[in-house]
Structure 1
Amino acid sequence: MTKRYQSLKDHVYDHIATEIQNGTLLPNHKINEVALSKKLEVSRTPVREALIQLASDNLLEYLPRRGFIVKDLDTKKKLDVFQIVGVLDALAAALALEQMTEEDIEQMEDFAKIIDLSIAEKNYSDYQKYQKKFHNVYINKCNNATLIDTLEMLQNSFVRQVYSSDDTDRLFAVSAQLNEDHKEIIKCFKNKDKQKLEQLIKKHWEIEHKDMI
């Protein structure tokens, strides 16, 4: 029973986190618990537990008499977190370097190709989905559970969409530049170039277009 309940809570958590990250749920959007229960076909209990966890992880905010809303973060806070993520992501890559297999690298190459396709089709939701999967290939091979959990929490809580803009041409031009970084990261893993890998990933997380975050 405990395992089943936990899986339902995680299902609700992942659903809301994904909708926040892909821009379906925007800052200050109120979460309707009843509608969410019906949509996901679960009881109110795992929904409430997931919302409490999401608030603890900084995705949501609880307001008396209003309920749970999607939390907004100021630009300085976002930039601070991106800086931390860059350092930790680079550390994860360095720790994973000797653990990466040919299959892992091939998987990263496949994700980079899918990201190119997502950009060509102007599908930002898929772009977000697969760029996260790309990074998770090596993050999950770093053999440091605390680091993995910390990166997951930071990315779920703060990073969300890396960039957003009503100017879709500019948005996808920036996304294409970031995917070129992904391809360079793959080369570093192939060449086992630890120093360049760490430098590249830290630079990858530097926010050049501050007006778009």
Structure 2
Amino acid sequence: MITRKYDSLKDHVYKYIASRIQNGTLLPNHKINEAEICEKLEVSRTPVREALIQLSSDNLLEYIPRRGFLVKELNTKEKLDVFAVIGSLDALAARLSMEFITDSDMSMMEEYIRKIDVSIQENNYDDYQKYQTAFHKVYIDKCNNHTLITMMESLQNSFIRQSYLSNDSEKLYVILKQMNDQHKQILRYFKERDSDALANLIQFHHWKIEHPEMI
């Protein structure tokens, strides 16, 4: 099994900025204040600049000469492209992890499913996003392929803000309930050790976006 390394200062800064993009604190076209980040995280400019360059490479930021690094605004087609790639890689990670997943891991996934249900009931979509990411991370981290894990982390950071955004609360509730029902099905396939059904569900159903106007 692969031993995960500790985060470097650059990784720490990267995750801090990426999380603020995902939760909507940093909106598209927002200019990144390097000095503010240095002060907030108590780091030098070097890891901050390294993180910004990496975020730009990973399509979360763009560098504008004489303006600096700005949060990138992705169009719907670009977002759908990210979902398509995520679906394929997530299915591969699930298939590879089947050999290593434990009863303890599956109990953890079951607990995340419960927390997701509570988050949906309470209309707490920040927690929904946090727990659904954690659910997938359980088996992704057990796939025994560090390159795949790194690629997944990078692509998941490209999910600008929440997966779904809508003023139609009833529609959003139904969609997220359906997605958590699929989480339950994913867990069932892990318990049954059915890797083919698992990969098919994840790639062709779970990450298929039926309401692109809401992402």
Q: TM-score, normalised by structure 1?
A: 0.91
Match in the other structure for 2:131: 130
Distance (Å, rounded) in 1 between the aligned partners of 2:130 and 2:32: 22
Query: Is residue 206 of structure 2 the alignment partner of residue 204 of structure 1?
Result: yes
Shift >4 Å, 4+ stretches: none
Q: Which secondary structure does the structure 2 equivalent of 1:99 belong to?
A: coil
Residues 1:50 and 1:19: Cα distance change in structure 2 (over 3 Å):
same
Q: CA deviation at 1:160?
A: 5.0
Q: CA deviation at 1:46?
A: 2.0
Match in the other structure for 2:73: 72
Q: How does 1:77-116 map to 2 (within 5 A)?
A: 77-116=78-117
**2:22, 2:159 within 8 Å by CA — same for their partners in 1?**
no
Q: CA deviation at 1:158?
A: 4.6
Query: Is residue 11 of structure 2 the alignment partner of residue 13 of structure 1?
Result: no
Distance (Å, rounded) in 1 between the aligned partners of 2:69 and 2:111: 38
Q: CA deviation at 1:104?
A: 0.5
The structure with the largest helix share of the pair is 1
Q: Which 5+ residue runs of structure 1 have no aligned equivalent?
A: none
**1:58, 1:158 within 8 Å by CA — same for their partners in 2?**
no
**2:126, 2:162 within 8 Å by CA — same for their partners in 1?**
no
Distance (Å, rounded) in 2 between the aligned partners of 1:66 and 1:159: 21
Distance (Å, rounded) in 2 between the aligned partners of 1:170 and 1:49: 40
Q: CA deviation at 1:168?
A: 3.4
Query: Is residue 142 of structure 2 the alignment partner of residue 141 of structure 1?
Result: yes
Distance (Å, rounded) in 1 between the aligned partners of 2:13 and 2:145: 26
Q: How many residues align?
A: 210
RMSD: 1.9
User: AA paired with 1:155?
Assistant: Q
Q: CA deviation at 1:86?
A: 0.8
Q: Cα deviation per residue 1:83-137 (whole Å; 9 max; x = unaligned)?
A: 1211111111111112110000001001111111222222212111111111011
Match in the other structure for 1:120: 121
**1:82, 1:159 within 8 Å by CA — same for their partners in 2?**
no
Residues 1:123 and 1:158: Cα distance change in structure 2 (over 3 Å):
closer
Distance (Å, rounded) in 1 between the aligned partners of 2:104 and 2:201: 22
Identity of aligned residues (%): 62
Q: CA deviation at 1:171?
A: 2.5
Residues 1:174 and 1:158: Cα distance change in structure 2 (over 3 Å):
same
Q: Which secondary structure does the structure 2 equivalent of 1:208 belong to?
A: coil
